[in-house]
Amino acid sequence: MARVMIVGAGGVGRVVAHKCAAQPEFSDILLASRTLEKCNQIAKDINSPKITTAALDADVVSNTVKLIQEFRPEILINVALPYQDLALMDACLETKVNYLDTANYEPPDVAKFEYSWQWAYQERFKNAGITAILGCGFDPGMTGVYTAYAFKHYFDEIHYLDIIDCNAGSHGEAFATNFNPEINIREITQNGRYYENGQWVEVPALSVHRPIDYPEIGFRESYLLYHEELESLVKNFPTIKRARFWMTFSENYITHLRVLEAVGMTRIDPINYEGTQVIPLKFLKAILPEPSSLAENYTGQTSIGCHIRGLKDGKERQYYIYNNCDHAASYKEVGSQAISYTTGVPAVVGALMLVQELWKKPGVFNVEEFDPDPFMELVAKLGLPWHEVIDQDSPFEA
């Protein structure tokens, strides 16, 4: 039996709290966020005696340290903003508590994300005797576990990796993002980047795209983005010759985004408005629909997976592994849409791997550095079944 502390009370936090409350391995759950009312509403909806709530400004390390010392969790699950990753890791170091997150650190003043800041904690976590599991959502997260599983069971060398992410759902809004608008738009408006032949290739944002056929959905226009798991996967699987990430966007979404960019609403530098410093993207976030509010009327599916090619016993193999998740079914189960569900479930499975001591070793690790088999077995049972297509033609050229 373990005590778990969850930081963040958005859509993903709701899923994590629901799923943790249902696991016998977790005896007590503390749900903490800057906005106590959100925590209390989630706790009320779940109605489990395991859950207590607290207000927390996670930007202030001493605040988190104090709460950890009072609650004494075995693991802290961070589903707050990526800006807070380092502050929460610092608090875990000070209190010797294990750490897990779903997205890597971003500095607030630069639209850039990379693992270097968190990888730099390796020796400190190792010396403290605690574990940090990085990027344990879906992408990153399941995509890394899928790759590790493919390597363990089907390949001696992985050469080509294409991660594909489709949201074919409909929420009825003219323009909205499926998770935090600020983080979402910062990610999408960066230049695209992919790995090929030992170097990173950069292209203008959303300039490379192609239709991709997704199971049960069909063809959707998919755009090449830079995504954080590419950085860790090419490091941990050095035989990779090329790694790319693709995500679908509707024509309507792209049109709105380009207009917002053109008029300066996606800027992250402050401007002076009537004597007040305002960051346009933060203002835009405030007026866009709250992502969790989309859940009730969401229909359709997501489809996320990995197309992998490489060698086994000297012969070329092709492999595709994926999950489809239904928005309406996710809402019926936990009150969140599928984007939150597919992020929250792997976070809970990762926490279970740690408390069961299957993924527990001192240091800082990405998910693909652990044994994928027990994770894959449990994640299917907890709501994200996976499917394999073996040795059929890949939609991607060599």
Give tens-digit pLDDT for 159-178. 999 999 999 988 877 777 76
C-alpha–C-alpha distance, residues 58 and 8, integer Å: 9
Bin 345: left if φ > 0, else alpha if -120 < ψ < 50, else beta: alpha
pLDDT in tens, the chain (398 residues): 899 999 999 999 999 999 999 999 999 999 999 999 999 999 999 999 999 999 999 999 999 999 999 999 999 999 999 999 999 999 999 999 999 999 999 887 776 778 999 999 999 999 999 999 999 999 999 999 999 999 999 999 999 999 999 999 888 777 777 667 777 787 778 899 999 999 999 999 889 999 999 999 999 999 999 999 999 999 999 999 999 999 998 888 888 888 887 888 888 788 888 888 988 878 888 878 877 777 788 899 999 999 999 999 999 999 999 999 999 999 999 999 999 999 999 999 999 999 999 999 999 999 999 999 999 999 999 999 999 999 998 888 74
Q: pTM of the entire structure?
A: 0.94
Task: Please report the pLDDT score of residue 224 as a whole number.
Answer: 96
- For residue 218, the cross-strand partners are 214
Task: Please report the pLDDT score of residue 186 as a whole number.
Answer: 76
Mean pLDDT of the chain: 93
Task: Please report the pLDDT score of residue 253 as a whole number.
Answer: 81
Task: Please report the pLDDT score of residue 34 as a whole number.
Answer: 96
